[in-house]
Amino acid sequence: MKALVFHKPKDVRVETVEDPRIEESRDAIIRVTSTAICGSDLHIYNGMFPQPRNMILGHEFMGIVEEVGKGVGNLKKGDRVVVPFPIACGKCNFCAMELPTHCENSNIENYGPEGDLMSGKGAALFGYTDLYGGYSGGQAEYVRVPYADYGPRKVPDNLTDEQVLFLTDIFPTGWAAIDWAGLKGGETVAVFGCGPVGIMAMKSAWLQGAKRVIGIDIQPYRLEMARKSAKVETINAKEVNAVEVIRDMTGGYGADVCVDAVGMEADRSFAEKALNVVQLEKGTMKILEHCLEAVRRGGAVTVVGVYGTPYDNFPLHRWFDKGIRMMGGQAWVQRYIDHLIGLVRDGKVVLDDIITHTVPLAQASKMYDIFNKKQDNCVKVVLKP
């Protein structure tokens, strides 16, 4: 089959690889009909998460069940499914706590030395480096899905791939960012990052009861997409001091909730492009620091942007002094997905309006480059194997 294979940073290629096959009784093989490129894939692409051997990337995918193992009773050949990006067994202690991103069984080898449940890496993810289980991803014609009786969800026939594809990751991730903040209704929510994840957080904020939603980015075309797709007010952090603008917009209080939907990238991009804009403290301003500044006292900061390295000079004093609630991590897709499918089915939310590029899988390598460089007004890329 054809698949998008990571070779080394900035070197991903569509090439012929071996077809996947059923290896365990709870496996399924899915014929992929649509798959997307994620900001998280860029961490691997840019070498921020090292990957020593070639690997098929892709954790946002859906398709048609081709074959199931003996242990998969709920799916059959021909079913059309979306697949959550965390690989989880559904039976361990963490899965019982509805924490699929910490599943004990999907990433045994890499949970740490001798299976370190406290400090290991957590659950496996599709196509997301050997640290996260080393499983082949779904930017391919076929993919092996472990624990297929727990993760994949059948989707209604009358919904297109584009309408449901983002249930695999970015909609549940945006939903998690707001769920973790625990809105009571009427809040002002500021989302840093108007990429696909940020925009999904904005849509989720409206659905969970926010009265005002603000998107912040440094790319004018991404701000425009946020205004169009999520109907939010926007701030260009390259032109103005976003924290001060949020202060002004909220009568001096700050936002009730700040979401970091950028992650570690901002270290580099902020340092390079926008350091002159906000000078609250010495050193490089990171998005997390903006969030801690721009949130009101007693508010919430949630972090869905990925941090893969230690963070120096974390503003612990601001967190403590302002009494901020914080939560972050990989999204609990399996916990949210059934409710979110319902929202899509009932027309409560539109997800496919952020898609700017739909191309054959064969063009994936070029699209990684465009998406990474934020060229061609690219917001979200869907690949068709």
Contact footprint for ligand NAD (CB under 6 A): 38-40, 42-43, 169-170, 173, 192-198, 216-219, 222, 237, 261-263, 265-266, 269-270, 274, 287, 304-306, 330-331, 374
Whole-number minimum distance, CB 200 to ligand NAD, in Å?
A: 8
Q: Which is nearer to Zn ion, 36 or 181 (CB)?
A: 36
Whole-number minimum distance, CB 218 to ligand NAD, in Å?
A: 5
Q: Does 95 bind Zn ion (CB under 5 A)?
A: yes
Stretch near Zn ion under the rule CB under 5 A, chosen from 58-66, 125-133, 205-213, 339-347? 58-66
Q: Which is nearer to Zn ion, 90 or 220 (CB)?
A: 90
Whole-number minimum distance, CB 1 to ligand NAD, in Å?
A: 25
Please tell me the distance from the alpha carbon of residue 94 to that of residue 99, in angstroms, as a whole number.
5
**CA nearest to 216, candidates 206, 207, 230:** 230
Inter-CA distances, 218 with 81, 203, 240, 296, Å: 36, 20, 10, 23
Contact present, 37 and 364 (Cβ < 8 Å): yes
Which two structure tokens, joined as six digits, stand for 216? 């912040």
Whole-number minimum distance, CB 196 to Zn ion, in Å?
A: 8
Residue 11 makes CB contacts below 8 A (sequence gap 6+) with none
Whole-number minimum distance, CB 342 to ligand NAD, in Å?
A: 21
Please tell me the distance from the alpha carbon of residue 164 to that of residue 168, in angstroms, as a whole number.
8
Residue tagged 């991730």 (tokens): 173
Residue 305 makes CB contacts below 8 A (sequence gap 6+) with 192, 193, 197, 260, 261, 262, 263, 264, 265, 266, 287
Please tell me the distance from the alpha carbon of residue 145 to that of residue 67, in angstroms, as a whole number.
10
Q: Residues in contact with Zn ion, total (CB under 5 A)?
A: 10
Q: Name the binder of 197 from Zn ion, ligand NAD, none, CB < 5-8 A by kind.
A: ligand NAD
Q: Which is nearer to Zn ion, 41 or 79 (CB)?
A: 41
Contact present, 215 and 259 (Cβ < 8 Å): no
Whole-number minimum distance, CB 179 to ligand NAD, in Å?
A: 12
Q: Name the binder of 89 from ligand NAD, Zn ion, none, CB < 5-8 A by kind.
A: Zn ion
Which two structure tokens, joined as six digits, stand for 202? 């904005």
For Zn ion, the binding residues (CB under 5 A) are: 38, 40, 60, 88-89, 92, 95, 103, 105, 169
